[in-house]
Amino acid sequence: MTTPPLALTPAARPSHDLAAVAAHLPGAELDQLEPVAAGDIGRLQVTGLTLASGRVTPGDLFAALPGLKTHGAKYAQVALEAGAAAVLTDPAGAALVPAGTPLVVAPEIRAHLGALAAWFYGHPAADLTTVGVTGTNGKTTVAHMVQAALAEDLGQVGLLGTIMAAVGEVRIASQRTTLEAPDLQAAFAAMRERGVAACVMEVSSHAIDQHRVDGFQFDVAAFTNLSRDHLDYHGTMEAYFEAKARLFTPAHAKRAIINLEDPWGASLARLAGVPAETISRQAGAADWHLQAGVPSRGRTAFTLVGPGGRQLAGEVDIPGDYNVANAAVALLVAVAAGASPEGAARGIAGLPGVPGRMEKVPGPAHAPLVVVDYAHAPESVAQALAALRPHTAGRLIAVVGAGGDRDHGKRPLMGAAAAAGADVVFVTDDNPRSEPPGAIRAVVFEAASRAMRRKAQARGQVFEVAERDQAIERAIAGAGPDDTVVILGKGHEATIDYGGILVEHSDRECAQRVLAKQRGVGA
C-alpha cells in the first residue's frame, strides 16, 4: 500500500545534480554506474528528496536509510519504478539496491540529512518566522494557540503538528508529530512560495534525536513540561530530557520560553544555551509571574507580570489550570516572535478549542458533560481529571487504556492515575499494536482496581470493556446530568491499531452517536 504524495510541497521544484548533493554529505561518493560513464553521474539532475518510497515522484532522490526493523534500501526498486532518479544510501544499503542504479553513498546520512534538505530547498526557514514547541504534554495546544496569536498580526501562519499539517487552505492529517527532514524543508519551501509569514510546529524528542530539525534555527523555541513518556525509545528520563534540551542550543534556536512548572523546566533554564525567558505561578521564581483569575464557564483570564513590572493580559477558553499555563507560554512565545501583545491575546482568547484536547462533545441539556482528551501518560491523565473535577457536581467517569509496543512501566501508572482522579473507570483498548489487547488491559485494570480500593470510596467502580466503542457507550449511558465523562488517550486519532490493522474509530464521533441517542434522534 503506497502513501499519497504529501500536499505540502513547493510547486517550483528545485533541481540539483548528484555531484552537488554528494558535496553536502561528509564522506559521500558517487557510485560507478554502467552503462553511463562515471563522469556523467554527477550531472544527473534530481528535483526532490524523500525518505518514503510510497511518496516518490519522478525525478526524486530516494534516501534509503536503515530503520529499526529493516533497511530502506529494500524499497529502492519500488522507488525506482515510481520515477526516482537516484538513490542516497549508506554502504550497507548500496549492496541492496538494484544493479545499475545511480547512487550517492555516504556514512551517517541521518546525522546530515537535515542540513542537506535545508540546502536542497534553498534554506526556506530563513524566510519565515519559525516557532518550535516541545514538551511531554501541551505541545499541540500551545502550537495551536501560538498559530492563532501570530495570525492576528502576521497574516498566514503555517502549522505542523500531531493533528495536522496546514499551509494556507491546505490541511492534511498528520502521520507523526514532527515531519522527517526532507518533508519538513519541503513544507517550509511551500510556505515561502505561498507567502506564509510564519510556521509553528511541534517538535518531538524523537525528531530532535533523529536530526529531523537540523539545518535551521527556530526564532523561538518553547518548553511546556516533561513527564514519563517514550522511555521505550529513550530508556531513561535523563536521556529523554537530554534529547529535549538539545533544542535549546544555538544549533537549533535563537531564544526560548521555558515553563518552570516542573523541576525539569528549572533544569532546562539552567542548561539552555540560548537567551531564555521563564514563567511560573510562584512569585519571584521566574522572569514572568503567572496570575490566573477565577474560571467562569471554562474561560479564565490571566495576567503575566514580568521584568520591571511589565504586564501582559490574556484569556483562554479551554478548561484546566494547565491550559492557563499553556496560554501564558503561547502569549510569551508569540510576543517574542514579533506579535503585538494585544493581537496575540486576541488570537488566544478567540481560539474555541483544539481537536482532542479537553474537547467538549455537544449533547442535549439532560446529558452529562462529555470531554475527549489526548492524555496518554500518567501525569497527563491526572492533570485532565484534576482539571475537570471543579466542573463536576456528580461523578467523574474516565475511559482509559494503554498502548502496546510502548513503555510497559507506564501501564499500571495509567490505571492508578485514572482511579485516583475519577469515581468510575472503564478500562479499554488503546492501540494494542502487536501485543495481546487483553494482556494490556489486565495490567491497567489491576492497577486501577487496587488504587480504587485504597480510596475506600463507596461508589468507586472499575470496569473492563474490551471494545472501545462499547466502553464509551456504557460510560455515557450510565452517567447522569451532573456527571462528567472524559475519554482519555486517543484525542483526535481516527483509528485503533490492532496488530497493524487500523480499525476506524473516533472517540469524538462515538460519543456524538451515543449522545444523539439520548436526544432520541438515533445514532
Model pLDDT for residues 457-488, shown as the tens digit of each residue: 656 899 999 999 999 999 999 999 999 999 99
What confidence score (pLDDT) does residue 35 get?
46
- Per-residue pLDDT, averaged over 498-506, amounts to 95
Structural contact between residues 243 and 229, judged by C-beta atoms closer than 8 angstroms: no
CATH number of the 16-107 domain: 3.40.1390.10
pLDDT in tens, 391-417: 899 999 999 999 999 999 999 999 999
Cis peptide before 35 (omega within 30 of 0): yes
Can you tell me whether residue 168 is helix, strand or coil? Answer: coil
Q: Listing from the earlier edge strand, what are the strands of the sheet with 359-361?
A: 359-361, 369-373, 484-488, 396-400, 424-427, 461-464
Ramachandran category for residue 170: left, alpha or beta (phi over 0 → left; psi -120 to 50 → alpha): beta
Q: Which of 323, 443, 315 is nearest to 380 (CA)?
A: 323
What confidence score (pLDDT) does residue 3 get?
40
What confidence score (pLDDT) does residue 114 get?
97
What confidence score (pLDDT) does residue 239 get?
92
What confidence score (pLDDT) does residue 38 get?
52
CA distance 206 to 212: 9
pLDDT in tens, 92-120: 999 999 988 999 999 999 999 999 999 99
CA distance 61 to 53: 10
Give residue for cell 513547493: 10
What confidence score (pLDDT) does residue 42 get?
76
| Residue environment code for 1-25, b if the CB has 16+ CB neighbours within 10 A, otherwise e | eeeeebebbbeeebebebeebbebb
- Per-residue pLDDT, averaged over 178-183, amounts to 94
Q: Is the pLDDT of residue 33 over 60?
A: no
Q: Is the pLDDT of residue 456 over 90?
A: no
CATH tag for 359-519 (out of 3.30.420.590, 3.40.50.720, 1.10.10.60, 3.90.190.20): 3.90.190.20
Report the range of poorest mean pLDDT among 23-37, 382-396, 400-414, 493-507.
Answer: 23-37
What confidence score (pLDDT) does residue 253 get?
98
Q: Band of the pLDDT at 5, cuts 50, 70, 90?
A: very low
E strands in 108-209: 129-134, 157-160, 164-167, 170-173, 198-202
Task: Specify the domain boundaries for CATH 3.90.190.20 within the chain.
Answer: 359-519
Residues contacting residue 486 through CB under 8 Å, at least 6 positions apart? 370, 371, 372, 373, 384, 385, 388, 396, 397, 398, 399, 422
The helix or strand, by DSSP H or E, that contains position 220, with its residue range, turns out to be strand 220-223
Question: CA-based diameter of the chain, in Å?
Answer: 82
Please tell me the pTM assigned to this model. 0.85
How big is the CA angle at 336 (ends 268 and 153), to the nearest 5 degrees?
145
Between 357 and 344, residue with greater pLDDT: 344
For residue 366, the 8-state DSSP code is T
Q: Band of the pLDDT at 455, cuts 50, 70, 90?
A: confident
Helices (H), 337-481: 341-349, 378-388, 410-421, 437-455, 468-477
Q: Is the pLDDT of residue 297 over 80?
A: no
How big is the CA angle at 491 (ends 490 and 493), to the nearest 5 degrees?
65
Q: Is the pLDDT of residue 261 over 60?
A: yes
Q: Which of 134, 379, 348, 141 is nearest to 258 (CA)?
A: 134
Q: Which of 390, 378, 374, 389 is nearest to 423 (CA)?
A: 389
Phi, psi of 220 (to 5 degrees): -140, 135
Give the cell for residue 406: 510502548
Torsion sign across C-alpha atoms 241, 242, 245, 246: negative
What confidence score (pLDDT) does residue 232 get?
75
Task: Specify the domain boundaries for CATH 3.40.1390.10 within the chain.
Answer: 16-107
Sequential DSSP letters for 442-507: HHHHHHHHHHHHHHT-TT-EEEE-SSHHHHHHHHHHT--TT-EEEEES-TT--EEEETTEEEE--H
Report the range of poorest mean pLDDT among 134-138, 338-342, 375-379, 518-522.
Answer: 518-522
What confidence score (pLDDT) does residue 39 get?
56
Mean of the per-residue pLDDT values for the chain? 92
What confidence score (pLDDT) does residue 521 get?
47
pLDDT in tens, 141-170: 999 999 999 999 999 999 999 888 887 677
Give residue for cell 496570575: 291
Report the range of poorest mean pLDDT among 66-80, 137-151, 197-211, 444-458.
Answer: 444-458
Report the range of poorest mean pLDDT among 4-18, 118-132, 449-463.
Answer: 4-18
Structural contact between residues 425 and 461, judged by C-beta atoms closer than 8 angstroms: yes
What confidence score (pLDDT) does residue 319 get?
84
What confidence score (pLDDT) does residue 460 get?
87
What confidence score (pLDDT) does residue 4 get?
41
Can you tell me whether residue 253 is helix, strand or coil? Answer: strand
Structural contact between residues 450 and 360, judged by C-beta atoms closer than 8 angstroms: no
Share of the chain above pLDDT 70, in %: 94
Phi, psi of 388 (to 5 degrees): -90, -20
Task: Specify the domain boundaries for CATH 3.40.1190.10 within the chain.
Answer: 124-349
E strands in 275-433: 276-280, 288-292, 300-305, 311-316, 359-361, 369-373, 396-400, 424-427
What confidence score (pLDDT) does residue 43 get?
86
The Cβ of residue 430 has, within 10 Å, a number of other Cβ atoms equal to: 26
E strands in 11-163: 16-17, 29-30, 45-46, 48-50, 60-64, 86-89, 103-105, 129-134, 157-160
CA distance 452 to 445: 10
| CATH class of residue range 124-349 | alpha beta
